[in-house]
Structure 1
Amino acid sequence: MTSRMTHGAGSVPERRYRTSGWLTFAGTLSLVVGAFNIIDGLVALFRDNYYLVGENRILVFDYTAWGWIWLILGIVQIAVGAGILSGKLWARAVGVFFAVVAAIGHLAFLQAFPLWSVLTIAMCVLLIYALTAPPAGSTGR
């Protein structure tokens, strides 16, 4: 019997990461929340009369300003979701921050479209938990 020898196989330690289903879930949920925010933004930009509020103002801004806010926030959340799914640590921290920002924004938007806002706030809270619950050093792969 002959044994095959590989040169250098033992010299480089293999890095093992703990995988976490929560991070895979968080990345996917970030993509969904980002898509919801993009839809909110596009609707606010192109169909002002879609929302329940009679005036063209929600709390502070008009629908056009909210449209741009949701559109930009949604694009960032989709990028963060892709970062989470690829195992980037920075994406976890940024994901928590933007989930909090989106939840607060949907509180302000609650008067305009209550059901959609409550659903998105619930998903943001679940996203925050999914990003903070996994053990340190784990990835979503």
Structure 2
Amino acid sequence: MTTKMTHGSTSARARGMVTSGWLTFAGTLALVVGTFNIIAGLVALLDDEYYLVGQNQILIFDFTTWGWFWLAVGIVQIAIGAGIMAGRMWARAAGVVFAVLAAIGHLAFLQAFPIWSVLTIALCVLLIYALTAPPAGSRAA
């Protein structure tokens, strides 16, 4: 009996790459959370009257500053989501950092938009788990 081997036909496991559905989920979730943050940023920048909170009821900044903050965080999170889907390890580490940053930011933004902030904090916690649960060498499926 002979075994026929084709050049370059090694499986992902043989090359040391393990695929993970969690990372695919995390990449998709990072894209969704990033989009949510971009929407929150644009709303804060374009419509000052949308959030029904007085000046003294939000932590530290005014809505224009929060708008720029959420816009920047959202854009970075979308880039991170694309990096996670491409299997980049830096994107996994940055994804955890920016998920924590977004969760803390939404905690500060809780008075302005409570239901949206609680939902986004929950998504950030789920994103952190999805990024940290798979093995170190795994890639998105």
TM over 0.5: yes
Q: Which runs of 5+ in 2 are unaligned?
A: none
Could you tell me how far apart the structure 2 residues matched to 1:90 and 1:105 are? 22
The alignment's C-alpha RMSD in Å is 2.2
1:82 aligns with 2:77: no
- The question of whether the paired residues in 2 share the 8 Å contact of 1:45 and 1:64 is answered with yes
1:42 aligns with 2:45: no
Q: Which runs of 5+ in 1 are unaligned?
A: none
Match of 2:101 in 1: 101
Could you tell me how far apart the structure 1 residues matched to 2:19 and 2:44 are? 39
2:46 maps to a residue whose letter is: F
1:128 aligns with 2:121: no
Could you tell me how far apart the structure 2 residues matched to 1:34 and 1:101 are? 12
Could you tell me how far apart the structure 2 residues matched to 1:104 and 1:16 are? 36
Q: How many residue pairs get matched?
A: 136
* Structure 1 residue 89 displacement after superposition: 0.6
Could you tell me how far apart the structure 2 residues matched to 1:79 and 1:5 are? 39
Match of 1:113 in 2: 113
Q: Look at both structures and tell me which one has the larger radius of gyration over its CA atoms.
A: 1
Change (3 A) 1:5 1:127: closer
- The question of whether the paired residues in 2 share the 8 Å contact of 1:59 and 1:108 is answered with yes
Match of 1:58 in 2: 58
* Structure 1 residue 134 displacement after superposition: 0.4
Which deviations, in whole Å up to 9, do the C-alpha atoms of 1:33-73 show, x marking residues without a partner? 00000000000001111112033762100000000000000
Identity %: 74
Could you tell me how far apart the structure 1 residues matched to 2:76 and 2:36 are? 12
- The question of whether the paired residues in 2 share the 8 Å contact of 1:44 and 1:64 is answered with yes
Match of 1:139 in 2: 139
Change (3 A) 1:57 1:46: farther
Change (3 A) 1:55 1:15: same
